[in-house]
Amino acid sequence: MEFLNIILESDPSAAVVPNSTPQTIAVDPKKLITVAENLLRSSQTYFDQLSCVTGIDNGVEAKTMEVIYHLYSIPYNFSVALKVILPRENPVVPTLSSVWKSANWMERETFDMYGIVFEGHPDLRRILMPADWDGYPLRKDYKEQEKYREIQVKY
């Protein structure tokens, strides 16, 4: 697969992440859309499905968050993952919903759970949690609110 060259053409700073299955490439958040579009359009890759968008909070000490995109190329039966590393304060990453429509809900879920803002997203609302819920539940330093509409949250 020529995917690494295609990624390096659009983002020279891309690096292979060790110990990851499928192979994961860390890319610059600013170049993410270009990389994704090239991977989708190039006749050597055709990564036509975005399988999964995963947010990860590395904790308060590490001060970083990550978003991992798992791509799958149906014609070549090949998977690859893209990773972007974001600062924990004010995590912003451009949306991929213009490239793959499936990104729409998956990015909403990541926003809901981590508070990662997907810039340019057409409909960035909370999806699984209530709209008036406090905080982002999957952050490592999350403390649940004591009461939600007079109902005790913690049991």
Contacts with another protein by CB under 8 A lie at 17, 19-22, 24, 48-52, 54, 56, 68, 70, 74, 77, 79, 81, 100-102, 104-106, 109, 113, 123, 125-132, 137-138, 149-152
Q: How far is the CB of 9 from another protein (least distance, A)?
A: 23
Cβ nearer to another protein, comparing 4 with 62: 62
Q: How far apart are CA 151 and CA 116, in angstroms?
A: 28
Q: Which is nearer to another protein, 11 or 112 (CB)?
A: 112
Shortest spacing between CB 94 and another protein, in angstroms = 18
**What is the nearest approach in angstroms of another protein to the Cβ of residue 114?**
11
**Closest approach of Cβ 12 to another protein, in Å?**
23
Cα(38)–Cα(143) distance, integer angstroms: 40
Contact 54, 71 (CB under 8 A): no
Q: Which of 113, 115, 120, 128 is nearest to 36 (CA)?
A: 120
Residue 12 or 131: the one with the smaller Cβ distance to another protein is: 131
- How far the first Cα of the chain sits from its last, in Å, is 51
- Report the DSSP pairing between strands 24-26 and 15-17: antiparallel
- For another protein, the closer of residues 8 and 17 by Cβ is 17
**Which tokens in the block code for residue 152?**
């005790």
